[in-house]
Structure 1
Amino acid sequence: MTTTLGTASASPGEMDTGRLEIGETRDGSPFSLPVAVINGSQSGKTLYIQAVSDGDELNGVGVLNRVVPQIDPGTLSGTILIVGIVNYHAFQVAEHRNPIDDTKMNRAYPGKESGTSSERIAHTTFQAATRADLILDLHQGSTSRMIDEVRVRCGRRHRVHDECLELAKVFGVECGHVLDQKGPDGQLARAAPDEGIPTIDPELGGCVGWDETSIEKGVAGVLNVLRYYDFLEDDGATVRQTRASGFEQHGSPCGGLVRFHHELGDRVAAGDVLFDVTTPFGERKAQVTADADGIFWRTRRLPQVATGEYVCSIGTDIDTY
């Protein structure tokens, strides 16, 4: 059966690309999102993948750029629906939020058909996503420095939580870390599980532009999912993951320059020094320690901070599964 997404249309054993129309720009020109359909030669599940719902998070489209050419629809079972760039307006200007309505796109789901710019994009992509059996929403830690991880955002009491966690484990073999914590309202990884669809939010590092190491982990993650869920032939093996169920953020008690005591991914214990804040001449003004045991998860990229400004995050409540 032929499968379509926007203007992309593919018969079994074929792939096609096209555009998914949303609305108009400020000069009245139509705008649309780049989409692809990979229709397997054999029947099977449907996987939906999207990237760049935050306009400066480019590792996700880097993953699609590398993984799509590797997928042969002739050997694929099932269908893959892809929206390559979700936050059209933010992508054009390399900003995080949609500049048309100053909205973080991944707070707008499931969207509104006649709503704001972000709500309309969210509505249209949500309609595409909910055609699927599984959803991958590819992100990164914006331009901060962050470990490669996968997020389960529906909450532990949700009816499809275990299925989301299984999907995270499959994708995250190379990442090795999972944040299992209920996310804010409006996230695709919150809204789609309410429709019964296992959804994860891979956070592929954090950088300005592309990071090849994180992209390769994302490519491996997508291929892991395709093999495990029988889109492609493979044994579908998984490995144990390190899971954090909490997230502890630390700000600076004063202004100055930050000097970290740990590398991303390091284990820390309560009371361990996380960072110093110094003057331009190296004089220590403050020292901040961990409140709980955990993993050094994410840090700001620039060393200069003002009083109260975000510095780093620790993943807490650690176990393996």
Structure 2
Amino acid sequence: MRTVGSASAAPGEIDTGRLAVGETRDGAEFGLPVAVVNGRKEGKTLYLQAVSDGDELNGLGVVSRVVPRLDPTDLAGEVLVVGIANYHAFQVAEHRNPIDDTKLNRTYPGDPIGSASERIADATYEVAAEADLVLDLHQGSTSRMIDEARVRCGRHHRLHDDCLELARVFDTGHVLDRRGPDGQLARVAPDDGIPAIDPELGGAIGWDESSIEVGVRGVFNVLEHYGFLDGDPQPGSQVRARSFERYGAPKGGLVRFTVDLGEEVARGDVIFEIIDAFGSVRARITADHDGVFWRSRRLPQVATGEYVCSIGRGIDTI
């Protein structure tokens, strides 16, 4: 029998329930929606999590499509799912937890007597720590962004190659191989011997069908590659970046991009212009280095110094 919160499933069964993590402001207990898919055959354990940031919903779209397609009688091993991790932020469609003004994915492994976010991190990491693999599904929130998988443990970590392989199998087409900030789930889990990545599924606000389908395919690639399900996924070659170069606005006005997401750029290429309300060009910005146009702001209006876009650097193919 495998139990997560109120969800319990014997081999060959699936169950859903809630993982209690605290109380709301009116004193009512609340819990995170969880699912346990317990395969009939023995195998590895996959931990799958979504909505660590309350306005990043594409991961929830993935979970809502993956779980109904999992037949525990065909599964070897277990899939443990937290469908909505950042409960408070999800309720108000905000990025950070409004109870403590904290980004949940900076609080792992958590604290059972800490802040609201630390308590959620503690409860979810207790589940994740039982897994052999971790997928923490994210998206670019309010930015426009390519689909990518992020390896956050750092290139000198003992599990780096395992995490990179997990990202390659997930197969978004792009990988960011760069050590992440302290407190990220995909940073903490490898320290405990668990390969982990955080796929960033596009950058749409809300619900982007194309990025959700990329995530669904990625989860099933992982399930097949690591023996949970029969299958032999064949991931294609993928572009890897090792760092970002951020560009800000030298003038105020409207941004007009001259390259598309995922497009290669060379040093000296024009990547965006800033125009005034009548279309006159006020500034023309070129790339400082070769790279890939990785991420950009969604709305066109900018003030001086405001973030505009990012170029992925240190590019190769894996």
Q: Tell me the TM-score normalised to structure 2 length.
A: 0.99
Query: Letter of the aligned partner of 1:68 in structure 2?
Result: V
| Counterpart mapping for 1:266-285 below 5 A | 266-285=263-282
**In structure 2, the residue corresponding to 1:127 is in which secondary structure?**
helix
Shift of residue 162, structure 1, vs aligned partner? 0.3
**In structure 1, the residue corresponding to 2:135 is in which secondary structure?**
strand
Query: Letter of the aligned partner of 2:105 in structure 1?
Result: N
Query: Letter of the aligned partner of 1:126 in structure 2?
Result: Y
| 2:92 corresponds to | 93
- 1:90-134: CA deviation from partner (whole Å, max 9, x where unpaired): 000000000001111111111111110111101111111010000
| 1:32 corresponds to | 31
Matched, 1:13 2:12: yes
- 1:164-188: CA deviation from partner (whole Å, max 9, x where unpaired): 000000001xx21000001111110
Matched, 1:206 2:203: yes
The total of aligned residue pairs comes to 318
Matched, 1:64 2:52: no
| 2:156 corresponds to | 157
Shift of residue 240, structure 1, vs aligned partner? 1.9
1:240 aligned to which of 234, 237, 240: 237
Shift of residue 239, structure 1, vs aligned partner? 2.6
Matched, 1:185 2:185: no
| 2:214 corresponds to | 217
Any conservation in 2 of the 1:40–1:74 contact (CA below 8 Å)?
Answer: yes
Shift of residue 238, structure 1, vs aligned partner? 3.1
Shift of residue 283, structure 1, vs aligned partner? 1.4
Percent identical across equivalent pairs?
A: 68
**In structure 2, the residue corresponding to 1:34 is in which secondary structure?**
strand
**In structure 2, the residue corresponding to 1:259 is in which secondary structure?**
strand
**In structure 2, the residue corresponding to 1:282 is in which secondary structure?**
coil
Q: Which runs of 5+ in 1 are unaligned?
A: none
Shift of residue 286, structure 1, vs aligned partner? 1.2
Any conservation in 2 of the 1:142–1:207 contact (CA below 8 Å)?
Answer: yes
| Counterpart mapping for 1:6-155 below 5 A | 6-155=5-154
Q: Which runs of 5+ in 2 are unaligned?
A: none
Shift of residue 213, structure 1, vs aligned partner? 0.2
After the TM superposition, which parts of structure 1 deviate over 6 Å for at least 4 consecutive aligned residues?
A: none
Any conservation in 2 of the 1:110–1:191 contact (CA below 8 Å)?
Answer: yes
Query: Letter of the aligned partner of 1:203 in structure 2?
Result: E
| Distance in 2 between residues matched to 1:12 and 1:165, nearest whole Å | 31
Matched, 1:227 2:232: no
Worse-superposed segment, 238-247 or 194-203: 238-247
| Distance in 1 between residues matched to 2:122 and 2:270, nearest whole Å | 45
**In structure 1, the residue corresponding to 2:247 is in which secondary structure?**
strand
| Distance in 2 between residues matched to 1:69 and 1:31, nearest whole Å | 24
| Distance in 2 between residues matched to 1:226 and 1:143, nearest whole Å | 30
Any conservation in 2 of the 1:54–1:105 contact (CA below 8 Å)?
Answer: yes
| Distance in 2 between residues matched to 1:235 and 1:202, nearest whole Å | 21
| 1:195 corresponds to | 192
Worse-superposed segment, 294-303 or 238-247: 238-247
Any conservation in 2 of the 1:229–1:236 contact (CA below 8 Å)?
Answer: no
Q: CA RMSD in A?
A: 0.7
